[in-house]
Amino acid sequence: MTYQLYYWPQIQGRGEFIRLALEDAGAPYRDVCREKRGEAQLMRILGPRAAFAPPALKAGRLLLFQTPAILHWLAPRLGLAPRDEAARARLLQQQLTIADWLAEVHDTHHPIASHLYYEDQKREAKRRGAEFRRVRLPKFLKHFAEPEKRFSYVHLSLFQMVEGLRYAFPRAMRRLEPRGLAALHDRVAARPRLAAYLASPRRIPFNAMGIFRHYPELDDPRRM
Ligand SMILES: N[C@@H](CCC(=O)N[C@@H](CS)C(=O)NCC(=O)O)C(=O)O
C-alpha cells in the first residue's frame, strides 16, 4: 500500500506529524503536493463539503482528514501504536492535547485572525506571546514532562513540538524545557530512519510561513 499525503508544500505544518510517522516506519508514501502540479491536486480533494482543511491521507479508497484522526488510523498499521482499543484511545487523547497545544502556538503570532498578516496583529501577538510563555507553555510542557515508556506516534509528535518550540521560542525553551522531554527529543532524533529523514531534503526547514515561527519579539526578552 502506497499512502498519499496531501498537505501545503511550503511548510512542515500539521502535515509534518504524519510525515514523521510514515518516515519513522519506512512506509511507502507520496507527498503528493510536492510533486508537479501538486497544489492543484490538493485543491481537487478539498471539495467544499468533503473536507475542512489539510492535511489529508489517502489509503486505497479511504480519504481521511484531521491530523489526530489520521494518526489514530495509521499508527497501528505502521507499528506505531498497539491494536488494543483502550490503549489507542489514550494515545488519541494525548494527540488531541498536542493539537490544542499546536493551535495555541499558532495563535501566538496570529491571535486575531489566521487570514491577516502578522504585521497587522503584532501588538496583540506580543501580549498573547507573553501569556503563552508565562502560563500555557509551562502547563503543556509539564503535562508531557514524563513521556510514556512504550514508544508510539505520540513520541514522534512530541519530538516535533520540542523541535518547533526550540526554533520559535529558543530563550523560553532554555528556561522551561523539562529534562524528560529533552531526552525524548534526543532518543527520537537518533532513530535511524528518522535521522536519515531529518538530514534529507524531504524535511522542509522551519520558515516564516509555518506554524512555528521565530519572531524574537514574541520570545522571552533578552537579558540586558
Ligand atoms: N484540526 C485540523 C486543522 C487543520 C488546519 O487548520 N489546517 C491548516 C494548515 S496547518 C489549514 O490549511 N487551514 C486552512 C483553514 O483553516 O481554512 C487538523 O489537525 O488537521
Q: 14: Cβ below 6 Å to ligand 1?
A: yes
Return the amino acid letter for 109: H
Residue 214: per-residue pLDDT: 98
Mean pLDDT of all residues in the chain? 96
Instruction: Quote the CA–CA distance of 96 and 85 in Å, as a whole number.
Output: 16
Cα-based distances in Å from 105 to 133, 138, 151, 218 = 10, 13, 25, 11
Q: What percent of the chain has pLDDT over 90?
A: 92
Sheet containing 56-59: order of strands: 29-31, 3-6, 56-59, 62-65
Q: How many residues does the chain have?
A: 224
Q: How confident is the model at residue 106 (pLDDT cuts 50, 70, 90)?
A: very high
Residue 171: per-residue pLDDT: 98
Residue 95: per-residue pLDDT: 98
Return the amino acid letter for 45: I
Q: Of 128, 97, 134, which Cα lies nearest the Cα of 110?
A: 128
Q: What is the pLDDT of residues 19-30, one digit of tens each?
A: 999 999 999 999
Query: How far does the centroid of ligand 1 lie from the alpha carbon of residue 14, in Å?
Result: 7
Q: 15: Cβ below 6 Å to ligand 1?
A: no
Q: 55: Cβ below 6 Å to ligand 1?
A: yes
Instruction: Quote the CA–CA distance of 108 and 15 in Å, as a whole number.
Output: 20
Q: What is the pLDDT of residues 39-78, one digit of tens each?
A: 888 888 887 667 789 999 999 999 999 999 999 999 999 9
Q: 51: Cβ below 6 Å to ligand 1?
A: no
Instruction: Quote the CA–CA distance of 42 and 1 in Å, as a whole number.
Output: 20
Query: How far does the centroid of ligand 1 lie from the alpha carbon of residue 54, in Å?
Result: 6
Give the residue, by CA position, lying nearest to ligand 1 atom 11: 53
pLDDT at residue 86 tops 90 = yes
Specify the DSSP class assigned to residue 74: H
Return the amino acid letter for 223: R
Q: 210: Cβ below 6 Å to ligand 1?
A: no
The model's pTM: 0.96
The cell 497501528 sits on which residue?
76
Give the residue, by CA position, lying nearest to ligand 1 atom 1: 66
Give the residue, by CA position, lying nearest to ligand 1 atom 15: 53
Q: 99: Cβ below 6 Å to ligand 1?
A: yes
Task: Take residue 223 and report the three cell numbers written for it.
Answer: 537579558
Task: Take residue 128 and report the three cell numbers written for it.
Answer: 498573547
Query: How far does the centroid of ligand 1 lie from the alpha carbon of residue 52, in Å?
Result: 7
pLDDT at residue 150 tops 90 = yes
Instruction: Quote the CA–CA distance of 144 and 196 in Å, as a whole number.
Output: 26
The cell 503563552 sits on which residue?
132
Residue 68: per-residue pLDDT: 98
Residue 22, C-beta contacts closer than 8 angstroms, at least 6 positions apart: 3, 5, 29, 74, 78
Residue 73, C-beta contacts closer than 8 angstroms, at least 6 positions apart: 57, 62, 64
Instruction: Quote the CA–CA distance of 31 and 107 in Å, as a whole number.
Output: 27
